[in-house]
Structures are given as structure tokens and as C-alpha cells.
Amino acid sequence: MRIQVLVTAAVLALTAACSPAEEKAPAPAPAPEAPLTGRAAIYAAGEQNAEAFARALYANAAAPLANDPAAAAVSPGRDPLYSRTLNALIGVDFREAKGEVPYLNYDPVCACQDADGFALTGLKMTPDGDKAALADVTFANHGETQQQTLKLVKEGPMWRIADVVDAKGKSLHDALMAIAERAES
């Protein structure tokens, strides 16, 4: 009997120790994260796939983020949106301008210096292996329809622009390469 009383007392003591004295309220659900905007959205999309990257580029052109801190931190030749090669060529273009207006004095994504009524109207993706793709793009800007092709390449974890070719076949890479070749001579 004595053992039974001791066991019962022990069970009661453990039950009291393990039971909460008062019911705890559930922890509040974390606040939903704000959707990414501006370049942060482009960088995140660039880590998904080539199409998400291209769509994010043009979504940003349609509704650019005012005072985007990521855009403010970009200098010519060091833009995470562009491939290493294209960045090197942009850097040469900027240095060769020697304080004057460089060849690339516009945004190649929208083929403009400013956008007005910008809208992506068509996008056709053509993969070229695991690390390259073509994005045939149609968009409207300033009431005009334009077409261009982005050559995309995956460097590290992110997709980047390797070239922009306009509707007439003019390549940004080739134009900048000609500037770099003249600089070497």
C-alpha cells in the first residue's frame, strides 16, 4: 500500500510539473514578406530561370522603382544584370568616352533613355542548353512597338544578359567590341 501511495504521489507530482499552469496563446503568425521590387526582384528572378529573368527585366522597365538602392549602387562595367564579358565591354566603352557621352548611353532592355507607356507585349524563349537562352521580345514604348532579342547566359547562380540584338540585327556586344578593339590599337 505504501508503494502504491508513493507511486500515486509521484504521478500526481509529474502531472502537475508537466501541465502548464495556464494555457499559452499561440505564437502570432509571421507577417507576410513584402514582394520584391526593382532590381531585387530581377536578381531573385535571375536565380529561377531564363524566362523569369526576362519577364522581371521588362516588368521593371514598365514600372521602375524610384530610388532603387540596388540600381544606385551600379557603376558602368559592374552591373549584375550583364554577363562578365558584356560588363567588361561596357567598362571599356565608359573609359574610352573620357568624360564624354559613351556609346551605351541608354537602357538596352527598353532600347530607350526613358520609358512612357512601356509594356511587354510578347516573349518567346528558346533555350540553348542549360546555360544559354534567347528571349525574343516585343514591347511597346512611347506608343511604338519594338522588337529585340536578348542573348542570356547563366553565370554562377544567376541568368544575365550577354547581348541585346535589335530588330535590324545590330548587336550591342559587337558594337562595344569594336570600341574595345579600337582602344587596343
pLDDT per residue over 8-26, tens digit each?
A: 544 444 455 544 545 567 7
Q: How many domains does the chain divide into?
A: 1
What average pLDDT does range 54-63 have in this prediction?
95
Residue 77 pLDDT exceeds 50: yes
What average pLDDT does range 98-127 have in this prediction?
95
- The total of other beta-carbon atoms located within 10 Å of residue 7's CB is 10
- Would residue 152 be called left, alpha or beta, if left means φ above 0 and alpha means ψ between -120 and 50 degrees? beta
28 lies in some domain: no
Distance, CA of 119 to CA of 132 (rounded, Å): 25
158 lies in some domain: yes
Residue 79 pLDDT exceeds 80: yes
3 lies in some domain: no
How many whole angstroms from its chain centre is CA 146? Answer: 22
83 lies in some domain: yes
For residue 139, give its domain range: 37-184
180 lies in some domain: yes
Write down the pLDDT at residue 10.
46
Q: Which of 46-55, 71-80, 132-141, 145-154 has the lowest mean pLDDT?
A: 71-80
Give residue-wise pLDDT tens across range 156-172. Answer: 999 999 999 999 999 99
Distance, CA of 70 to CA of 148 (rounded, Å): 25
Distance, CA of 172 to CA of 110 (rounded, Å): 13
134 lies in some domain: yes
7 lies in some domain: no
Q: Which residues contact 40 (CB under 8 A, 6 or more apart)?
A: 70
- This model's pTM is above 0.95: no
CATH code of residue 50:
3.10.450
